[in-house]
Structure 1
Amino acid sequence: MSSPNQFTLLRQRRFAPFFWTQFLGAMNDNVFKFAFTVLVTYRLQVDWLPPSLAGLAIGAVFIAPFVLFSATSGQIADKYDKAFLTRMVKNLEILIMVLVTVGMATGQVGLLLGCIGLLGLHSTLFGPVKFAYLPQHLREDELTGGNGMIEMGTFVAILMGNVLGGLLIALPPEAVLPGSQAVAAVSLALAVLGRLTAQAVPATPPTAPGLQVNWNPFTETWRNLKLAHGNIVVFRSLLGISWMWFFGAVFLSQFPSFAKNVLHGDEHVASLLLVVFSVGVGLGSLLCETLSRRHVEIGLVPLGAIGMSVFAADLYLASRGLPAAAPLGVVAFLAQAGTWRVLADLFLLSLFAGLYSVPMYALIQLRSPASHRARIIAANNILNALFMIASSLGVGVLLSAGFTVPEVFGLTALLNALVAGYIFLLVPEYLLRFVAWVLSHGVYRFRLRGAEHIPTEGPAILVCNHVSFVDAVLLMAASPRPIRFLMDHRIFKVPVLGWLFRLAKAIPVAPRGEDPAAYERALAAAGQVLADGDLLGIFPEGGITVDGQLQPFKGGVMKILATQPVPVVPMALGNLWGSFFSRIEGGRAMVRPLRRGLFSRVTLDVAPAVPAGQVTLEGLQGTVQGLLHAAAPRRG
Structure 2
Amino acid sequence: MSGHSQFDLLKQRRFLPYFVVQSLGAFNDNVYRQAIIGLLAYMAVGSSQMGLYANLAPAIFILPYFLFSATAGQIAEKLEKQRLIVITTTMEIAVMSLAALGFLLQSMPILLVALFGTGMQSTLFGPVKYSILPSVLKPEELTGGNGLVEMGTSLSILIGMIFGGLIFQVAGEHGPQVAAVSVILMAIAGNTVARRIPKVDAGDPSLKVDWNILRESWRIWQLTRRQLAVRNAVLGVSWFWFVGTVLTAQLPVYAETNLGGTQNLYIFALALFSVGVGIGSMSCEKLSGRTVEIGLVPMGAFGVSAFLLDLYFARPGQALAHGLSVMQFVEAAGSWRIMFDLVGIGLFTGFFVVPLFALIQSRSPKHELARVISGMNIQNAMFIVAAAVIGLALQRYLGWTIPQVFLALAIANTLVAIWIFTIVPEFFMRFLSWAMVRTLYRLKLHGIEKHVPDEGAALLVCNHVSYMDALILSACIPRPARFVMYYKIFNIPVMRWIFRTAKAIPIAGARENPEIMQRAFDAVDAALAEGELVCIFPEGALTRDGSIAPFKSGVEKILERAAARGQTVPVVPLALKNMWGSMWSKRDSRLGRMRVPRRLRAHVEVVAGEPVDGGIATAALLEDKVRTLRGADA
The two structures have a TM-score, normalised by structure 2, of: 0.94
Give CA deviations for 1:169-224 in whole Å, capped at 9, x if unaligned: 22465x4x2x2232122111211222222222222232322211111221111111
Matches within 5 A, 1:180-219: 180-219=176-215
Change (3 A) 1:182 1:420: same
Q: Which residue of 1 aligns with 2:142?
A: 143
The 1-side partners of 2:616 and 2:225 are apart by 39
The 2-side partners of 1:395 and 1:589 are apart by 58
Q: Which residue of 1 aligns with 2:566?
A: none
- Indicate the SS of the match to 2:293: coil
Q: Which residue of 1 aligns with 2:439?
A: 442
Change (3 A) 1:172 1:192: closer
Structure 1 position 608 matched with structure 2 position 610: yes
The 1-side partners of 2:231 and 2:3 are apart by 30
Q: Which residue of 2 aligns with 1:430?
A: 427
Q: Deviation at 1:121?
A: 0.5
Q: Which residue of 2 aligns with 1:106?
A: 105
Question: Does the aligned pair in 2 maintain the 1:581–1:589 contact within 8 Å?
Answer: no
One-letter amino acid matched to 1:12: Q
- Indicate the SS of the match to 2:132: helix
- Indicate the SS of the match to 1:551: coil
The 2-side partners of 1:586 and 1:159 are apart by 57
One-letter amino acid matched to 1:567: P
483-492 or 381-390, which deviates more: 483-492
Question: Does the aligned pair in 2 maintain the 1:581–1:590 contact within 8 Å?
Answer: no
Change (3 A) 1:487 1:205: closer
Q: Which residue of 1 aligns with 2:93?
A: 94
One-letter amino acid matched to 1:334: V
Q: For 2:582, which of 579, 593, 612 is the aligned residue?
A: 579
The 1-side partners of 2:6 and 2:141 are apart by 7
- Indicate the SS of the match to 1:612: coil
The 2-side partners of 1:590 and 1:325 are apart by 63
Unpaired stretches in structure 1, ≥5 consecutive residues: none
Question: Does the aligned pair in 2 maintain the 1:19–1:150 contact within 8 Å?
Answer: yes
Q: For 1:529, which of 519, 527, 530 is the aligned residue?
A: 527
Q: Which residue of 2 aligns with 1:543?
A: 541
- Indicate the SS of the match to 1:436: helix
Q: Which residue of 2 aligns with 1:251?
A: 247
The 1-side partners of 2:72 and 2:170 are apart by 38
- Indicate the SS of the match to 1:614: coil
One-letter amino acid matched to 1:502: R
- Indicate the SS of the match to 2:270: helix
The 2-side partners of 1:543 and 1:624 are apart by 16
Structure 1 position 336 matched with structure 2 position 339: no
Q: Deviation at 1:412?
A: 1.6
The 1-side partners of 2:138 and 2:518 are apart by 38
Q: Which residue of 2 aligns with 1:61?
A: 60
Q: Deviation at 1:141?
A: 2.6
Q: Which residue of 2 aligns with 1:283?
A: 279
Q: Which residue of 2 aligns with 1:624?
A: 626
Q: Deviation at 1:2?
A: 12
Q: Deviation at 1:108?
A: 2.0
Change (3 A) 1:620 1:312: same
Q: Deviation at 1:506?
A: 2.2
One-letter amino acid matched to 1:451: I
- Indicate the SS of the match to 2:332: coil
Change (3 A) 1:299 1:251: same
Q: Which residue of 2 aligns with 1:35?
A: 35
Q: Deviation at 1:425?
A: 3.0
Q: Deviation at 1:46?
A: 7.2
Q: Deviation at 1:578?
A: 1.1
- Indicate the SS of the match to 2:541: coil
Count of aligned residue pairs for this structure pair? 627
Change (3 A) 1:578 1:340: same
The 2-side partners of 1:229 and 1:295 are apart by 23
Structure 1 position 228 matched with structure 2 position 208: no
Q: Deviation at 1:62?
A: 0.5
Change (3 A) 1:590 1:169: farther
Question: Does the aligned pair in 2 maintain the 1:398–1:408 contact within 8 Å?
Answer: yes
Question: Does the aligned pair in 1 maintain the 2:62–2:381 contact within 8 Å?
Answer: yes
Change (3 A) 1:3 1:575: closer
The 2-side partners of 1:503 and 1:198 are apart by 42
Give CA deviations for 1:548-571 in whole Å, capped at 9, x if unaligned: 221222222222222224222221
The 1-side partners of 2:385 and 2:192 are apart by 34
Question: Does the aligned pair in 2 maintain the 1:159–1:275 contact within 8 Å?
Answer: yes
One-letter amino acid matched to 1:22: Q
Q: Deviation at 1:589?
A: 6.8
One-letter amino acid matched to 1:297: E
The 1-side partners of 2:594 and 2:315 are apart by 46
The two structures have a TM-score, normalised by structure 1, of: 0.93
Change (3 A) 1:2 1:93: farther
The 1-side partners of 2:43 and 2:591 are apart by 77
Q: Which residue of 2 aligns with 1:85?
A: 84
Structure 1 position 162 matched with structure 2 position 164: no
Change (3 A) 1:493 1:147: closer
Question: Does the aligned pair in 2 maintain the 1:333–1:339 contact within 8 Å?
Answer: yes
620-629 or 493-502, which deviates more: 493-502
Q: Deviation at 1:587?
A: 4.6
316-325 or 237-246, which deviates more: 316-325
Give CA deviations for 1:215-242 in whole Å, capped at 9, x if unaligned: 1221111111122322332222111111
Structure 1 position 413 matched with structure 2 position 415: no
Question: Does the aligned pair in 1 maintain the 2:317–2:403 contact within 8 Å?
Answer: no
Q: For 1:263, which of 251, 259, 262 is the aligned residue?
A: 259
The 2-side partners of 1:235 and 1:458 are apart by 23
One-letter amino acid matched to 2:401: T
The 1-side partners of 2:463 and 2:591 are apart by 18
- Indicate the SS of the match to 2:574: strand
The 2-side partners of 1:589 and 1:435 are apart by 25
Structure 1 position 467 matched with structure 2 position 465: yes
The 2-side partners of 1:199 and 1:519 are apart by 56
The 2-side partners of 1:18 and 1:334 are apart by 37
The 2-side partners of 1:308 and 1:428 are apart by 20
Q: For 1:598, which of 593, 600, 615 is the aligned residue?
A: 600
The 1-side partners of 2:405 and 2:207 are apart by 45
Q: Which residue of 2 aligns with 1:72?
A: 71
One-letter amino acid matched to 1:413: A
One-letter amino acid matched to 2:299: L
The 1-side partners of 2:41 and 2:52 are apart by 9
Q: Which residue of 2 aligns with 1:26?
A: 26
Aligned-pair RMSD on alpha carbons? Answer: 2.2
Q: Deviation at 1:347?
A: 0.4
Change (3 A) 1:576 1:72: same
Give CA deviations for 1:273-316 in whole Å, capped at 9, x if unaligned: 11111111112112222223333332222222232122122112
Q: Deviation at 1:124?
A: 0.8
Structure 1 position 482 matched with structure 2 position 483: no
- Indicate the SS of the match to 1:508: strand
Q: Which residue of 1 aligns with 2:126?
A: 127
Question: Does the aligned pair in 2 maintain the 1:578–1:584 contact within 8 Å?
Answer: yes
322-331 or 71-80, which deviates more: 322-331
